[in-house]
Every structure is written in structure tokens, then in C-alpha cells.
Amino acid sequence: MTGHETEPRQTPAELQAEITREQRRLAETLDELSVQARPANIARRQIDRAKDRGTRIFDEARALVFGGGAVRVESRLVHPEEGSIVVKGDDKVVTTYQSRGQLPPEALILMAGVGTVVAVGVVAWAVRRRRK
């Protein structure tokens, strides 16, 4: 072994600077955690999550009923980055939608025909009921 293999790799000033940086980083992380852990912020996140779920369910129901322009293809849970701190329930769900495109003209004609038949049937039923 030579003499310089036993020498410290960092000087005391460099070690102190590294310790100071880590302390600052830890303090910032603790500040972020304290902000995330406030009851008002937790409640706000839960309300936002409920609104997002409600909106997503409403959009899907509307697409099923009215033949909206998009259909859900997949939903998956996104895991946080390695080393990040996550408060319980902060996972994100990413949903992929695909455009349905326009309906073919035959489908539009068929829907118009069915609508006309239903309308005529309702009118005929109302007239017949009125005569009795």
C-alpha cells in the first residue's frame, strides 16, 4: 500500500458541504410532507379524485348512451418514481381513449328510421287512447 491510498477521498470542507446539502434536501422533503399531510390538502385531493372518477364515469356513460366520439381502451396504475415519497392514495390512473370516428351513413339512416317508427307509434297510441 502506498501513502496516498489511505488519504481521505474528500476534504473536511467537502464533507461538511455534502452534509449541509443533504440536511437541506431532508428539510425540503419534510416541508413537502407536512404540506401534503395537512387535513385540508388531503380533503382537497380526495375531492379532486372523486370529481375525476365521477367525470370519467359520466363520460363513459355518455359515450355508451349517445355514441360519443371516444371509447376507453385501457386504464393502468402509474407507479411513482423511485425514491419519491407518496402519501397513501396518491397513485395515478392513466386512461387511454381511442377515437370512434364517424358512424357509417347506413347506421345514421337506420337510426333515423327507427326514430321515425317510434315517433309514429307514440302518436298513434296517443290518438287511439284519446278516442276511447
d(CA 128, CA 121): 10
d(CA 99, CA 83): 36
Q: Which residues pair with 99 in a beta bridge?
A: 70
From the list 7, 88, 8, 9, the residue with the least C-alpha distance to 49 is 88
Question: What proportion of the chain, given as a percentage, has pLDDT over 70?
Answer: 60
Distance from the Cα of residue 91 to its chain's centroid? 9
The residue among 42 and 78 whose pLDDT is bigger is 42
**Under 8 Å between Cβ of 68 and 62:** yes
Residue 3 reports pLDDT greater than 60: no
**Under 8 Å between Cβ of 111 and 66:** no
d(CA 100, CA 98): 6
Residue 52 reports pLDDT greater than 70: yes
Residue 45 reports pLDDT greater than 70: yes
DSSP state of 4: G
Task: Encode pLDDT of 67-86 as tens digits.
Answer: 656 666 676 666 666 666 65
Question: Grid coordinates standing for 13?
Answer: 470542507
Question: Grid coordinates standing for 89?
Answer: 392514495
- pLDDT band for 7, please (50, 70, 90 cuts): low
Ranking 20-24, 25-29, 34-38, 121-125 by mean pLDDT, the lowest is 34-38
